[in-house]
A and B are shown apart, each in its own frame.
Chain A
Amino acid sequence: MNALLSIRDLSVAFRTDSGRFEALHRLSLDIPRGRTLALVGESGSGKSVTAQAILRILPRSAEITRGQMLFTGEGKPVDLASLREEGSLIRSIRGRRIAMIFQEPMTCLSPLHTVGDQIGEALRVHTGADRQESDARTTEALRKVGFPDPKRALRTYPFELSGGLRQRAMIAMALIMRPALLIADEPTTALDVTTQAQILALLGRLQDETGMAILLITHDLGVVANIAHDVAVLYQGRLVESGPKTEVLRRPGHPYLKALIEAVPRFDMAPGERLTPIRPARATIPPAREAQSLSGPVLQVEGVSKTFTLRAGRFFAPPRTVRAVADVSLSLEGGRTLGLVGESGSGKTTVAKMIMRALAPDEGRILFDGGAGPRDVHALSGEALFAYRRTVQFVFQDPYASLDPRMTVRQILSEPMEIHGVPQGVRRARCTELMAMVGLEASALNRYPHAFSGGQRQRIGIARALSLEPRLLVLDEPVSALDVSVQAQILNLLKDLQKALGLSYLIVSHNLAVVDYMADTISVMCRGRIVEEAGREALFRRPVHPYTRALLAAVPDPSLDHPLDFRKVTGDASNPVRWPEPYRLAPEEAGTMVEIEEGHRVRLSYLAAQKAA
């Protein structure tokens, strides 16, 4: 077969302080024309290095030590590996025959230049087109990737766009020269599920139109199952498995791939089935404690609303406001987990912050029952508030940004205890105990966060949250910044700790599979309102609301039997006006929650609700 890009024996080595490190070891791979090859592996497996090596944009400390990359994009084959890194030949291939899109569309676009300028640039560089021509072609490209108003988009800046539109702009930028090969490095990892589905659909459509080949770098097997034709699996810099998608995913041969498939939460898991982490953690979970029995729920959120005022606009104009949370009510039983699901901007994090008392609600109240009856969290002060802080703790999304790099792990774990007056001796013992609980060596207490991997850092974050023996943990996207291979570890750890310590969890996430695995009851939020709430079983098996259905339909499932229906992902699902009757809400209409079976409530329009009653 005549491959578009044929990689043979490619090795890449990094110079580090501790000597040479081989990131890629004798990789041989063919990228066929017009097909999508998914390159799968965990972080550090060498997938991004492969992409950078193809474009010859490796970091300065890295070099290609052997092998060749034969590219037959036009006429006679060129060995990319033999080109000079800043030579004119490789430059004429970059952006013209081989283009690349990246994971984080915000940081990959310059905030100082307009979208139109940056997209048309490749055109101007390669063809010497003038501004007028490049603007015309850019408008065309923007239309093709689905910008609603491409003319206006030319003059916008990246930070004015949503994450989905930014990634569309990146795609337009990559495709403006109609490259033969598109390298997509985790193109949807930073996006919401619904946006992800749209971008995947877009990539598929563009491939059909232009016949380009796609090298898709990802760790998400769901994405692979849905848009790849072929799969190659990298593990520690070596190719361990490759072949057509159906063969590789149905009959995984290499133990790493088998383990990877086992480690991802799926919707068709049996009740009570546990994920199998790729590398099991050895946490010492304390013996289960009898959860304090409470008469009512531990946390009740009653009709909470929050409106933010944007910066005042022009003189004399009334300040613009954004309704982040509107009349949200939640209830969480002791020892159980409540999942709060929604896309970015749906208001779920604002709710979590109000529960933490980091923000005050405009209306409504939040009741917390620490054992002495429910008390309004926002009416607490002095000693009572101080005590409340102990009982509710937060686990952050980003384990890199949430640990102070200048504090040792011991200091990080001790700080909450110092604040709450735990004596020195107890603190020391507690630190050791906490480390065992989250499966880390006590000897690591004197090290700094940078010495740990992402998964280990998140465990430190969990240990810090547990140090004051809280009753309730608020988990804000606890695994979305982590590699799939460690997600399972963290989720299992959280489950075990919950059982042992009788904790209650509020888990905030856009990852439905994670929520499905963790939560007992689930509330779905859209534009600041809860649109559906139900037990886990009912919500995932019998979703009713169109928004919930759209969210579920957009999750790419790793099993080949449930492919995404790309025709259904239109992007209208979060617009209440476009919902079908009886869910349709007029602008500004709140609608009302109606119980359709026990514990399963859904938001209907007033009219429909009255008719039903």
Chain B
Amino acid sequence: MIGQVLRRLLTMSVTLLVISALIFFVIKLPPGDYLTNRIMELRATGEAGSVAKAELLIHQYGLDRPVWQQYLIWVGLMPGPAGFSGLLEGDWGWSFEYDKPVADVVGDALWLTLLVNVTALIFVHLVAIPAAIYSATHRHTVGDAVVTVLGYVGLAVPGFLLALIMLFYANRWFGLSIGGLYDSALTNQPWDGEKIRSLLAHLVVPTLVIGLGGTAAMIRRMRANLLDELAKPYTVTARAKGMPPTRALLKYPFRMSLNPFVADIGNLLPHLVSGSVLVSLVLSLPTVGPLLLEALRNQDQFMAGFILMFVAGLTLVGMLISDLTLVWLDPRIRMGLR
């Protein structure tokens, strides 16, 4: 088992390396980069001092070297002008756009992103699982139909539209400030009780908006899975033993129907970051989604590269988590049968 995990970790690092190369070269594909574009702009306006600074940056980050060397320096496998200083050494690079280290720009946004999306995820499961169980056990009843219709509505309404509507009413009824994850007055304040309270209040709308689409999809899938499992003979066995219906349901068919969802964790984590960009923009949430979009548009290469690497890392970690959970959950996989 431990050997398995070690082997997985090894393949993961190789995968990450390959991904990092892909990301870097894809970012580099369009001609020019942020600094050369900027220099051209500055030359046109004739600001000699700024031009000198930009050229210094070019040299400092080795942007005048061949692309493969730039890549190795970025990853930290080759000494740059400032010695070994790349991702491997914990240096995430410089954001030219913000003129700050990437870590400073992204820092808060990363944790807020995870917060918003994990909350949405928990919301999805809390709502979808009971709804799906109800819907599957009360098939072809009014309740099932209501859940189904609501589910389809949730699937069909675009997130950004819902976001706008909810923002409007949240502001009108509860006096919540529009947009952001906390009151804009608190932006530069330390994290104290008031700011956290403001954060929690602002979390409701994004959670609902991001969560609803996923909830609907999950109800549909879970219901279908459960219906398959409910027809299986071991469910009948459990009934024939005299188990109360709910207990039997949770112990046997429900547990069996979980596998596909566990296998999905790997896809969920990266989706957390990249999936809610549109909603984040509309709600002007300080999350990484909009930052990534901007960085890609401006060819802010280290910033874009870091965020993409972060997403890739999340994907791999998610895959690992889901595989390990499956092993723990399903003895058939544990015993290497199946």
Contacts and interface: CB of A to CB of B under 8 A. Distances in A.
A110 B3 contact: no
A228 B8 CA distance: 57
Interface in A299-326: 311, 315
Contacts of B88: none
Identify whether the interface residues of A are mostly helix, strand, loop, or mixed. loop
B159 to A, nearest CB: 36
A122 B237 CA distance: 11
A107 B242 CA distance: 18
- A92, A99, A108, A159 pick with most chain B CB within 10 angstroms: A108
B215 to A, nearest CB: 26
Contacts, number: 76
A202 to B, nearest CB: 19
Interface in B312-338: 329-332, 335-337
A604 interface: no
A567 to B, nearest CB: 32
Contacts of A57: 236, 239-240
Given A95-B242, A121-B243, A112 B330 contact: yes
A160 B335 contact: yes
A315 B3 contact: yes
A315 B329 CA distance: 24
A95 B241 CA distance: 4
B332 A104 contact: no
- A55, A100, A107, A110 pick with most chain B CB within 10 angstroms: A110
Interface string A20-47: 0000000000000000000000000000
A525 interface: no
A106 to B, nearest CB: 9
12 contacts: A55-B240, A91-B244, A95-B243, A99-B240, A100-B237, A108-B233, A111-B330, A112-B255, A113-B251, A125-B241, A126-B242, A157-B331
Contacts of A539: none
Interface residues of B, number: 26
Contacts of A100: 237, 240
Nearest to B332: A111
Contact of A111 (B239, B247, B331, B336): B331
A107 B256 CA distance: 13
Interface residues of A, number: 31
Sorted nearest first, the 6 A-B pairs with minimum C-beta distance are: A95-B242, A94-B242, A95-B241, A108-B233, A107-B233, A122-B241
Interface of A: 55, 57, 86, 91-96, 99-100, 102, 104, 107-114, 121-122, 125-126, 157, 159-160, 173, 311, 315
Given A159-B332, A160-B335, A315-B3, A96 B234 contact: no
A261 to B, nearest CB: 31
Contacts of A121: 238, 241, 243
Given A108-B234, A110-B252, A94 B240 contact: yes
Given A55-B240, A110-B234, 10 more contacts: A94-B239, A95-B242, A100-B237, A107-B232, A108-B234, A111-B330, A112-B255, A112-B331, A121-B241, A126-B242
B245 interface: yes
B60 to A, nearest CB: 47
B234 A122 contact: no
A471 to B, nearest CB: 38
A104 B242 contact: no
A359 to B, nearest CB: 21
Contacts of A113: 251-252
A102 B233 contact: yes
A157 B240 contact: no
A91 B238 CA distance: 11
Contacts of A173: 237, 241
Contacts of A111: 330-332
B233 A157 contact: no
Given A102-B233, A108-B237, A96 B242 contact: yes
A160 B332 CA distance: 9
A580 to B, nearest CB: 36
Contacts of A160: 335
B119 to A, nearest CB: 30
Nearest to B241: A95
Contacts of A93: 242
Contacts of B255: 110, 112
- B240, B252, B331 pick with most chain A CB within 10 angstroms: B240
